[in-house]
């Protein structure tokens, strides 16, 4: 039966983007060559290309093909009142500029919703908002800002499948010659510390090993020239690569080794299918960076940050006291709490001799002389801030304190820098003590007020001194006495009592050439700069300091510190041109405006720059703010933070589930539609409309990062296999560190460790690498082939993770027996796993056995524990049927000790892949003309 023709529908008001003409653009945006924004506009103005499937657009994925982000406003919204839409997305084409906004006038129709279409063409972080007339004449209301981030396009070499013909491919995954667009969920990142690799001439073997183990991106700790501490994160020269990386000094060249490094990274990319990610260190530089001598203004010093003056004095006192321990009869080697108490007791007296209280209080004698001189000269500034006559001295102290007329109040900028000018004080006491005429009596009255003012200031000094001494005491105990500390040994000039808070660049002009070292503070506000007033973190010794790193001072913008901004921008853009991605080191301490500006500059060089970061804000809303403002593509998460299997399953569900099995949101919420050209030029296109419901930050989920303790210390050595396997089943980017697969027994010290990695590929003595080869390869295939649905089940010490491709219902299931506790070989208990209407086939299983948890001493080579990966014999999957229908049942073998894993291939039975299409065929035509009453009859009658 033929269906009646569709009724004409009232058009929805839309915002038309005028015809793109770069010649009419305001500002300095370049006209040639065409930018991605120009290309997007050209795309929508060009003729459509016939293809088997309509071009899809959805929630801000990488712009492999330009698509539209539609912002919808409800009918009758206040934005209809002379409203405008503003965004810094380049709607008119041209280059993106953070502070350049496109403006679109909104329709004034109150009866229909308003839609604004943004043609998305390239990666980045963007903002938009709506402005409209307020309730009072002439007023304007700015709506809440919205942010959208577009993921970058990452392209890498394709690889052969790891599962072929229902079995694990012996030689897979092999890198092929063609390229593929890699979703962020397909990233498998390996962190490598370059200082343990040797010169670049030997890096090919590391590339071969990483690729063979299934990784597709290498995260490099900083490769720039290292400072005197030899830590990769203490960069001496941001524009020169570490000279020891090059076996031939000629490779360093006039460009600081940039060309040679790009050459070796090209080998990694083209021959081994490895993208490159590097740390970007924005917050500090090495304490021996030569350019600091020429540009001490790049750091925080008393000359540019005056309230640091007493902190510098205290730091100097601590260093001097540290050299005098023996002369004072104090222990230089700490072996007991009594030694600590003896040192701190003597230090308290030593610090108080420095009279740091003078930075806090008003100098009574100075106040006496200045007010006396003013009164004698009749130099009086009349008090105009309310009636203070006949008030008590305490009330008067509050009045002058609240007036803001006390200069340097609590600024701590110099000794006796807190004071009230004589004329002001004179006017104050004349207004307060109206019955006193004698100047000497007025002076005495003012001193009584000063004494009251000084009481809380002395208390503040006393409290700050006590806090500083407590911090020193705790630090000394941790660094030299406690079992879990480094136990540094004797106190010497090279290894003082506590780490210095300041780097002394010169012996002269300490107020200029003493610059604050960087560090971190427990539970600090990430948006507050702890080097700036009113923070007293350096004075109270609250900073856990990195003595080899000077904190950089960016100020409010480039005008505050022009040389530093230019220098670091050069550093960042050079890296963006060389690497595929950034890991922002210490991101939570990076001033937000600094991160935004520098990442904008980096994306100007490499629009498809992948950006990840580790945030320690402790607050999901704060995390989201950093992600949205900076355009962070992935936040680093770590499985090692879980304290038991239940918590690990929560993290897996939170960061790696994808969509739950059987999700209907895509099918139910997506609708077909027609897309008018966003510019008003070009054809109307068929499209899919997908609602945007907001998102949580994407995860780069590590089994272990390079700066955390090994599983041998956290849980058990065996858990490396079970947790490492579970992470690979996450529908997110995943990561590991070189040495995790090799079963390194402990955290390696970035500063002190000098040995080199041992390359073991996927051989017998390669730890869990054989298993990771399979699982890492599967992880990438999950993303490329859309295994986006998942299920996490935790039972006792077991976690089961199932990944499914929704269109085919093909899947993989991983059974992992966690090993959070040491020593047990017990199978534990898990209920047999029933898969309804699904067949399952065993693919792989393994457990790890250790002959010892010790590693033989080797002065030159890093080695893993002697762990043997033992493959499990094929597990037969039983099949049966009951009242609920057919099923497959997976039963864990009798010997399946903690740390063991099993991998199965699954396929739902009786599924016709064309069923969805058949059921939905003609539905739109059949229901297109029904009104709400008709739909009610169809659905409920």
* Catalytic site positions: 585, 588, 707
Edge-to-edge strand list for the sheet holding 810-817: 659-660, 789-795, 798-805, 810-817, 901-908, 838-850, 867-871
**Which one, of 655, 750, 739, 743, lies nearest residue 231 by Cα?**
750
Contacts of 41 (CB under 8 A, 6+ apart): 17, 20, 93, 119, 678, 679
Asked if 453 and 362 count as a contact pair (C-beta separation under 8 A), the reply is yes
830-865: string of b/e by CB count within 10 Å (b at 16+)?
Answer: beebebeebbbbbbbbbbbebeeeeeeeeeeebbbb
Helix (H, G, I), strand (E, B) or coil at 624: helix
Helix, strand, coil percentages in the chain from 3-state DSSP, rounded to 5: 30, 20, 45
Which 3-state string (H, E, C) describes 100-115?
A: CCEEEECCCCCCCCEE
Specify the residue for token string 């500059």: 601
Ranges of beta strands (E only) in 268-342 are: 275-280, 284-286
Asked if 291 and 240 count as a contact pair (C-beta separation under 8 A), the reply is no
**Which one, of 292, 192, 211, lies nearest residue 505 by Cα?**
292
Q: How far apart are CA 245 and CA 202, in angstroms?
A: 10
Asked if 846 and 900 count as a contact pair (C-beta separation under 8 A), the reply is yes
Q: How far apart are CA 173 and CA 776, in angstroms?
A: 10
Q: Which two tokens stand for residue 636?
A: 């680093």
Q: Which of left, alpha, beta for 408 (phi over 0: left; psi -120 to 50: alpha)?
A: left
Q: How far apart are CA 935 and CA 928, in angstroms?
A: 10
Asked if 326 and 332 count as a contact pair (C-beta separation under 8 A), the reply is yes
Q: Are strands 155-159 and 175-181 parallel, antiparallel or unpaired?
A: antiparallel
Q: Where are the alpha helices (DSSP H) in 418-516?
A: 422-432, 439-480, 510-513
Q: How far apart are CA 429 and CA 443, in angstroms?
A: 8
**Which one, of 553, 426, 607, 566, lies nearest residue 39 by Cα?**
607
Contacts of 814 (CB under 8 A, 6+ apart): 725, 726, 729, 800, 801, 802, 901, 902, 903, 904
CA atoms within 13 A on the CB side of 707: 11
């Amino acid at each position: 039966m033929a269906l009646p023709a569709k009724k004409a529908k009232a058009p929805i008001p839309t915002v038309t983007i005028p015809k793109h003409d770069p010649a009419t653009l305001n500002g300095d945006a370049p006209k040639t060559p065409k930018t991605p924004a120009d290309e997007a506009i050209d795309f929508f103005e060009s003729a459509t290309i016939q293809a088997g499937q309509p071009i899809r657009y959805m929630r801000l994925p990488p712009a492999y093909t330009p698509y539209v982000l539609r912002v919808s406003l409800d009918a009758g919204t206040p934005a209809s009142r002379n409203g405008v839409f503003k965004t810094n997305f380049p709607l008119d084409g041209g280059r993106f500029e953070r502070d350049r906004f496109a403006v679109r006038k909104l329709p004034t129709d109150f009866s229909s919703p308003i839609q604004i279409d943004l043609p998305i063409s390239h990666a980045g972080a963007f903002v938009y908002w709506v402005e409209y007339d307020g309730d009072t004449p002439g007023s304007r209301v700015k709506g809440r800002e919205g942010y959208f981030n577009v993921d970058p396009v990452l392209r890498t070499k394709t690889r052969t499948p790891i599962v072929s013909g229902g079995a694990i491919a012996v030689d897979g995954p092999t890198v092929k010659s063609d390229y593929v667009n890699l979703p962020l969920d397909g990233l498998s990142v390996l962190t490598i510390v370059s200082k343990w690799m040797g010169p670049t001439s030997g890096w090919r073997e590391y590339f071969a090993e990483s690729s063979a183990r299934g990784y597709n991106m290498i995260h490099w700790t900083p490769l720039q020239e290292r400072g005197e501490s030899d830590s990769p994160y203490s960069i001496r020269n941001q524009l020169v690569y570490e000279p020891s990386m090059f076996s031939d000094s000629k490779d360093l060249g006039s460009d600081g080794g940039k060309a040679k490094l790009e050459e070796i990274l090209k080998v990694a990319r083209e021959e081994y299918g490895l993208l490159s990610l590097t740390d970007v260190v924005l917050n500090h530089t090495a304490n021996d960076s030569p350019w600091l001598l020429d540009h001490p203004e790049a750091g925080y010093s008393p000359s540019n940050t005056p309230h640091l003056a007493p902190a510098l004095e205290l730091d100097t006192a601590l260093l001097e006291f540290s050299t005098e321990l023996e002369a004072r009869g104090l222990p230089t080697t700490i072996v007991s709490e009594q030694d600590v108490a003896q040192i701190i007791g003597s230090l308290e007296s030593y610090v108080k001799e420095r009279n740091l209280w003078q930075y806090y209080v008003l100098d009574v004698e100075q106040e006496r002389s200045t007010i006396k001189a003013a009164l004698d000269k009749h130099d009086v500034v009349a008090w105009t801030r309310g009636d203070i006559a006949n008030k008590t001295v305490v009330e008067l102290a509050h009045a002058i304190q609240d007036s803001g007329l006390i200069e340097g109040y609590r600024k701590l900028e110099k000794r006796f820098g807190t004071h009230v000018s004589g004329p002001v004080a004179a006017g104050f006491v004349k207004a307060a003590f109206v019955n006193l005429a004698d100047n000497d009596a007025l002076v005495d009255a003012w001193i009584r007020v000063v004494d009251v003012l000084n009481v809380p200031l002395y208390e503040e000094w006393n409290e700050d001194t006590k806090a500083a001494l407590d911090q020193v005491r705790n630090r000394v105990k941790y660094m030299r006495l406690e079992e879990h500390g480094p136990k540094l040994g004797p106190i010497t000039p090279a290894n003082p009592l506590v780490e210095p808070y300041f780097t002394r660049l010169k012996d002269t002009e300490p107020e200029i050439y003493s610059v604050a070292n960087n560090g971190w503070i427990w539970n600090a506000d990430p948006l507050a700069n702890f080097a700036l007033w009113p923070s007293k973190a350096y004075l109270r010794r609250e900073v856990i300091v990195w003595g080899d790193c000077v904190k950089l001072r960016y100020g409010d913008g480039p005008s505050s510190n022009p040389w530093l901004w230019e220098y670091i921008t050069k550093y960042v853009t050079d890296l963006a041109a060389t690497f595929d991605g950034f890991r922002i080191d210490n991101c939570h301490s990076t001033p937000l405006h600094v991160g935004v500006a520098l990442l904008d500059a980096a994306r100007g060089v490499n629009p498809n720059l992948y950006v990840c970061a580790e945030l320690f804000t402790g607050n999901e809303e704060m995390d989201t703010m950093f992600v949205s403002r900076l355009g962070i593509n992935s936040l680093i998460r770590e499985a090692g933070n879980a304290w038991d299997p239940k918590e690990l399953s929560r993290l897996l569900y939170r960061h790696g589930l994808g969509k739950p099995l059987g999700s209907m949101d895509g099918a139910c919420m997506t609708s077909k539609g027609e897309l008018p050209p966003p510019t008003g030029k070009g054809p109307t296109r068929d499209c899919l409309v997908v609602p945007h419901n907001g998102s949580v930050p994407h995860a780069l989920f590590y089994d272990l990062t390079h700066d955390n303790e090994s599983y041998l210390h956290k849980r058990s050595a065996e858990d490396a296999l079970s947790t490492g396997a579970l992470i690979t089943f996450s529908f997110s980017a995943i990561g590991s560190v070189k040495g995790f697969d090799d079963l390194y027994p402990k955290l390696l010290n970035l500063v002190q460790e000098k040995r080199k990695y041992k390359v073991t590929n996927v051989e017998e003595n390669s730890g869990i690498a054989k298993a990771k080869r399979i699982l890492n390869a599967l992880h990438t295939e999950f993303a490329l082939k859309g295994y986006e649905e998942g299920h996490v089940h935790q039972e006792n010490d077991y976690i089961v993770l199932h990944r499914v491709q929704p269109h085919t219902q093909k899947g993989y299931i991983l059974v992992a027996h966690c090993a959070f506790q040491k020593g047990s070989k017990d199978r534990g208990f898990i209920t047999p796993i029933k898969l309804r209407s699904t067949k399952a086939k065993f693919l792989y299983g393994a457990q790890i056995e250790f002959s010892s948890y010790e590693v033989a001493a080797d002065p030159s080579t890093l080695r893993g524990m002697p762990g043997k990966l033992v493959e499990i014999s094929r597990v037969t999957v039983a099949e049966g049927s009951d009242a609920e229908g057919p099923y497959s049942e997976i039963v864990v073998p009798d010997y399946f000790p903690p740390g063991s894993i099993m991998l199965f291939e699954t396929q739902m039975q009786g599924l016709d892949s064309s069923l969805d299409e058949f059921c939905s065929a003609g539905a739109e035509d059949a229901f297109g003309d029904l009104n709400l009453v008709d739909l009610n009859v169809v659905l409920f009658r």
